[in-house]
Each structure stands twice: as C-alpha cells, then as structure tokens.
Amino acid sequence: MENLIGLLVAAPLLGAAVLLCGGRALDRVGHWLGTALAGVSFLIGAVLFADMLGEETSDRALHSHLFSWIPVGGFRADVGFQLDQLSMTFVLLITGVGTLIHIYSIGYMEHDERRRRFFGYLNLFLAAMLLLVLADNYLLLYVGWEGVGLASYLLIGFWQHKPSAATAAKKAFIVNRVGDVGLSIAIMLMFTTFGTFAFAPVLSEADRAGEGKLTAIGLMLLLAACGKSAQVPLQSWLGDAMEGPTPVSALIHAATMVTAGVYLITRSGAIFNAAPDAQTAVVTVGAVTLLFGAIVGCAKDDIKKALAGSTMSQIGYMILAAGLGPIGYVFAIMHLVTHGFFKAGLFLGAGSVMHAMNDEVDMRKYGGLRRYMPITFATFGLGYLAIIGFPGLSGFWSKDKIIEAAFAKGGTEGWILGAATLLGAAITAYYMTRVMLLTFFGEKRWQPAPDPHKTAGIEPGAEAHPGELPHPHESPKSMTIPMIVLAFGSVFAGGLFSLNDAFVNWLEPVTGHDHGDSPLSAATVTAGTMVVLVVGVALAWAQYGRRPVPVTAPRGSALTRAARRDLLQDDFNHVVLVKPGEYLTRGLDRVDHTLVDGAVNGAAASVGGLSGRLRKLQNGYARTYAVSMFGGAAVLIAATLLMRAV
C-alpha cells in the first residue's frame, strides 16, 4: 500500500509532463489524458482510503520513504510520504474535486486552442498540492508549496494575452513569495531548534523547545499560511486571481491552494498548542479575515469576485478554528471539506452562468436566469443554502461547530470570537442571498454583448455576437454533471461527517480533539446562528428581492465604496509597501551612483593616474633600466656593508 502513495503524486505529475512536453500531437486527446490521470489519482486515493478504513485507528498512518534527497553532514533531507487521516482527507478532496473540475473544464475550455496546456497546468497543480499534503517533512512540503505557487501563477495568468490576467498572476506570485519567505524562515528555525524538519520528530518534541522559539516558528508559519490562504494582510491577490478561467478559480478556492494554509497550521498543531501567543495571532487573523472577506463580498457586483470574498471569509473561519487549538482543528478541516464541495459547486455554477451570458460577470446584468438554466440554478442554489448554513446541509454542520468552538475558547476572547463568527454568518447570509437574487431571480437586466474587439480578452468559447442580447442556455453535460455531483456533496457531506461524530473520530488521532468548555449550550448557538441567518437573508431580500435592481450600481455609502475597492487593500499596500520601496530603491540607486560608483571609479582613476606616472619609468631605453639596475646594485652593497657594520 505504501507504494501507492507515490503514485498518487506521480499520476498527475506524469500527466503534466506529458501534456506540457508532448506538443501539438496531444491536442486532441490532451484533455482526456489529463482528466484520466486526475481520475486515476482519485481512484488510488479511494483505494488507500478503503484500506485505511479497514485498519485499526492507531495503525492507520502509512509512511513511505522514497530516497535520501540531500544528505550533507548533519543536514539530512529525505523524500518521503506520510499518509495519515489528515492527509487522506486532503487527498480525497483534492483528487475528487480536482477530477470533477477537470471534467468540467473539458466543456468549459472546449474552444480554447491552448486547452492541452491548460490541462497540463491543472495536473501540475494537483501534483504539487498532493505533494504538499503528503510530504513527511517540512522541506518537501515546501517543494509542494512552491509548486502550488507556480501552478497558480501559470493558471491565473493562463490568458496571458490579457494584461490584467498577466498582472494578476504576477500579483498572486509576488504576494505568495512573502508567505513563502515566512515558511522558509520557519523551516530554518525548525532546523536550528530541532536539528531536523521531519514532521514526526519536530511535532513530538515541540513542547520541549522554548516558547519564544515556538512562537517565532508559529508566527512564520502563520505568515506562510496568510500568503497561501489569502488571509489579511496578504489577501490582496485573491480577488485579482479571478482573471483566470473559472475552473481555475474553483480549483484554487475549493480544493487546492487556499486550503494549504489551513493544512499547514493544522499539521503544525503541536507547535501552535505550545505557543499561545502564536495561536492568538492566528485567531485574530482568522477573525479579521472572515469579516473582511464578507464585507468585500457584499459590495462586489462581479459574481466571481463576490464568491472570492466569500472564499476569503470562509477560509477565515477555518484559520480561526485552527487557531483555537484542539477545540477547532477538526472543525477547521471539516469546514474545509464541506466548503470545498459547495464553493466548487458555486464557482462552477458561476462559470456556467457566465458561459450562458456571453461571459458577462456583472450580476446587475443578470436576473431571472432560474427559468433558463434549471440545473445550474438548482446546484447553485444548493451550494448557496449550504454556505449560508441552512439547517441540514453541509455548511450548517461545519460552520455551526466552528461558532460553537469559538465560544468554547472561553473568556473574553471566546465571546469576541463567537460574536465575530456570528456576525460573519449574518453577512454571509446577506451577500450570498444577494448573489442568488441578483443572478437567478428578479426581472431580466440583460445587456447586449460587448464588442470583443473593444474588450480584449473575453474568455474563449463564448460565441458572442456584438450587439445581441444573450441567449442563456443550460451548459453541456460535461459541465452540469460535476455541478450535480458537487451539489450532492454540498447537501450530504456535512450530515455524513456529523453522523456519530464520524469526522471527529476520524481525525482525532492526528489532530487531537477537545470539546472545550462552552459558556453557551450547542442549542443556544444553533439558535443564534439561525437568527442571524434569517436576519441576513431578510436584509438581502429587502434590498434586492423586493425592489428592482438598478443596472448601474448606486454610489452607495463610504463603506460600500471602500468594499468595492476591496476595502482599500491595494491602496494600503501601495502607500505602506510600494511607495517606501520606491523611495528606498531610488535612494539606493542614488547611493550606488554617487558613493559606490564614486568609490569604484575613484579607485580606478587613481590607479590609472598612478600607473600613468609609473609608466614614464618604463621609457623603453635600456640605459635608463641600466641606471636603476646599477643604483640597485649600489644599494645592495650599502645594505651589505651596513649589515656587516652592525
């Protein structure tokens, strides 16, 4: 069984290699090959899962050491895989949702002439993410981490002919670098502290190291997680990442990439458990981000960006839960899985809507689509109900538990976190209802298709005829079937997981679990959640359901305007980071030109001048040389005599 673990990563990696190196010959079968290999990976994952279920709880973790990568003196880096319950959960999510997105992409990218390459990148993405979650040490995890960054760069900038896409890709990559620096520093700190960076020794000996060092490691890990999972303050890349094709957004938001941060923190739980300050930082980041993302999601008219804000917010929930310690790890992962289902479903639904509406993304130009796209409507609707936490659906089970856990943190901190999560739930209900109402209900606000020559970079595959109203239609089966499957997941996953606390029992051996000491009973929390849910939905209905929606957005309040600009995140970065950076580089440039160049040129000039003087000694006349020789001989005699005299 251990040998199969390597195959999990190898299958999509092989797909990526073949598709990216294979050339045009594979254009016709490339997408099938990519999808098949993703499916193979999922099947292997399923086999391993079944095998794991058959084992005893204590004996479920598999370990596979492949080879010694960098053995240098005391430094030893191995390539080895570790498949425990946590990794297994991720493997199934990544390969399962990933395969569905592959299938969806077959239809979605049908008219793109670079489809083979797209599938190559998707496979690379899966392979990198699988490597990340299967690694048995932090260094190999870092390799996967970087691979994910690379794949996301390639995919976000897939339509590289659009400057906005190229910029978004660069932005994602650069912001991720900041987090990567955090991870690399964390790994270095681990090595200096523990002398190794394999999971098992580091995590088992974590509590023996000093708290200061652990806090430092934890904060660096948090920085890494913030970069990958788009948490405040490194959240700015996520919204722009919507420039990529919609399946990419689904993949990034549901199965890969943004979940990496949650995985990292959960995996490093032992370090955080021993560093309360780092945990506080984690929950703070999570709480801030969940509200930040939710507020941004309320103001966006772009359907994908609204969903992106939602993702940020939901990941905030997970980070918050992970920061709660053993109370929250399990629920963070559980919410991650359920979120993977419904967010993938929502994004695929959004892609389907855009596909039908000539790639229009402005929700204010949708309306009344439920009659034209019943399957999309149904799946999107189920995803919507799941994300707002409608009782019985997936989101309800996971989010409710997180809110409970937040209260269970105890003390003032618990109350603040609980309030934040509740507020977040209300806002989630509000903005998701808004998306739903604007898209599928109300009267048609369709606009003629834009001229493709004027708006560069329309998604290929849209048969847009300039000046015509869109003719919304249901998407092909390759797109609807994944949506249906994901809708099933959205509906039933949470319930299944909560049956007899199945998920808690499943993950407990890895992450540990603690029920905490909640000041409120579970029923009270659930009731509160329901109340804020109804309030959020009602507010949205009052604003967007009862009244006709203007096609052009009203000016709105200051908060709305700020939220439309992502709560001024880019302006903040510009003022705080870019400007000082520019001043610094300009100053350094000046220093380089005056001081450094001056020193270098001055040295060169002085040497040159001196040489010019010395050169005159070398006048080529043998007699001049003879004089110096003769004088030298005289000096030698003088020296000899002096020595004798002394």
**In the complex, which residues of this chain contact another protein (CB under 8 A)?**
615, 618-627, 630-631, 633-634, 637-638, 640-641, 644-645
Please identify, using beta-carbon distances, which residue of 555 and 623 lies nearer to another protein: 623
What's the rounded Cα separation, in Å, for the pair 460 and 112? 6
Q: Which residue has the tokens 């949506």?
A: 483
Q: Which tokens sit at 400?
A: 């409710």
Taking the complex as a whole, the smallest distance from the CB of residue 609 to another protein amounts, in Å, to: 16
Question: Angle 508-513-516 (CA atoms, 0-180°, nearest 5)?
Answer: 165
Please identify, using beta-carbon distances, which residue of 607 and 638 lies nearer to another protein: 638
Please identify, using beta-carbon distances, which residue of 523 and 642 lies nearer to another protein: 642
Please identify, using beta-carbon distances, which residue of 500 and 618 lies nearer to another protein: 618
Please identify, using beta-carbon distances, which residue of 455 and 624 lies nearer to another protein: 624
Taking the complex as a whole, the smallest distance from the CB of residue 605 to another protein amounts, in Å, to: 19
Please identify, using beta-carbon distances, which residue of 54 and 620 lies nearer to another protein: 620
Taking the complex as a whole, the smallest distance from the CB of residue 625 to another protein amounts, in Å, to: 8
Which of 101, 536, 134, 503 minimizes the C-alpha distance to 310?
536
Which of 136, 87, 205, 86 minimizes the C-alpha distance to 509?
86
Taking the complex as a whole, the smallest distance from the CB of residue 610 to another protein amounts, in Å, to: 16
The residues pairing with 76 across neighbouring beta strands, listed in sequence order, are 71
Taking the complex as a whole, the smallest distance from the CB of residue 608 to another protein amounts, in Å, to: 14
What's the rounded Cα separation, in Å, for the pair 309 and 238? 8
Taking the complex as a whole, the smallest distance from the CB of residue 614 to another protein amounts, in Å, to: 12
Question: Angle 77-4-247 (CA atoms, 0-180°, nearest 5)?
Answer: 90
The DSSP output letter for 73 is T
The DSSP output letter for 520 is S
Amino acid sitting at position 386 = A
Q: Which tokens sit at 241?
A: 């990442």
Taking the complex as a whole, the smallest distance from the CB of residue 640 to another protein amounts, in Å, to: 8
The DSSP output letter for 474 is P
SS3 of 138-203: the string is HHHHHHHHHHHHHHHHHHHCCCCCCHHHHHHHHHHHHHHHHHHHHHHHHHHHHHHHHCCCEHHHHH
Please identify, using beta-carbon distances, which residue of 23 and 632 lies nearer to another protein: 632
Taking the complex as a whole, the smallest distance from the CB of residue 628 to another protein amounts, in Å, to: 9
Task: Report how far apart, in Å, the C-alpha atoms of 388 and of each of 51, 343, 400, 523 are.
Answer: 35, 11, 10, 18
Taking the complex as a whole, the smallest distance from the CB of residue 618 to another protein amounts, in Å, to: 5
Q: What is the DSSP string of 307-348?
A: HHHHHHHHHHHHHHHHHTGGGTHHHHHHHHHHHHHHHHHHHH
Please identify, using beta-carbon distances, which residue of 412 and 618 lies nearer to another protein: 618
Cβ atoms within 10 Å, residue 633: 10
Please identify, using beta-carbon distances, which residue of 568 and 634 lies nearer to another protein: 634
Distance of CA 331 to the CA centre of its chain: 19
Taking the complex as a whole, the smallest distance from the CB of residue 645 to another protein amounts, in Å, to: 8
Please identify, using beta-carbon distances, which residue of 57 and 640 lies nearer to another protein: 640
